[in-house]
Amino acid sequence: QVQLVESGGGLVQAGGSLRLSCATSGLAFRLRLMGWFRQAPGKERESVAVVTTSGNSLYYIDSVKSRFTISRDNAKNTVYLQMNSLKPEDAAVYYCAPVYRDNSSWRNAGTIWGQGTPVTVSS
């Protein structure tokens, strides 16, 4: 069965950096577009970044462009999100998932979510 295990979150000061990882199993990883999502308290989950099967970034939400970088290691079935110049508004629980494009939105192509990794940014 598919497993998605996010890690790397934590508490950081505004302007700081974090690198999130998402280890996957049970997924034809190298054949899947992968994405990061986030959900802040009281808000809907939103897609943050998407990476192609070959490792090229395909999408970033406007608010993270030039600050976040998505990447992947197909040999390790792992997707990463390097987050720099963090802002308080980046605070959320971050999730990874295989993705597909639905009209103008990126959505989870699978049926499960991992436990997520929380990111807290102090001002």
pLDDT, tens digit, 9 for 90 and up, residues 5-54: 999 999 999 999 999 999 999 999 999 999 999 999 999 999 999 999 99
Question: What pLDDT is recorded for position 85?
Answer: 98
Tell me the chain's radius of gyration from C-alpha atoms: 13
pLDDT band at 78 (very low <50, low <70, confident <90, very high): very high
Rounded CA-CA distance 104/42 in Å is 22
pLDDT given for residue 120 in this prediction: 98
For residues 104 and 62, which has the higher predicted lDDT (pLDDT)? 62
Considering the chain, what is the average pLDDT of its residues?
A: 97
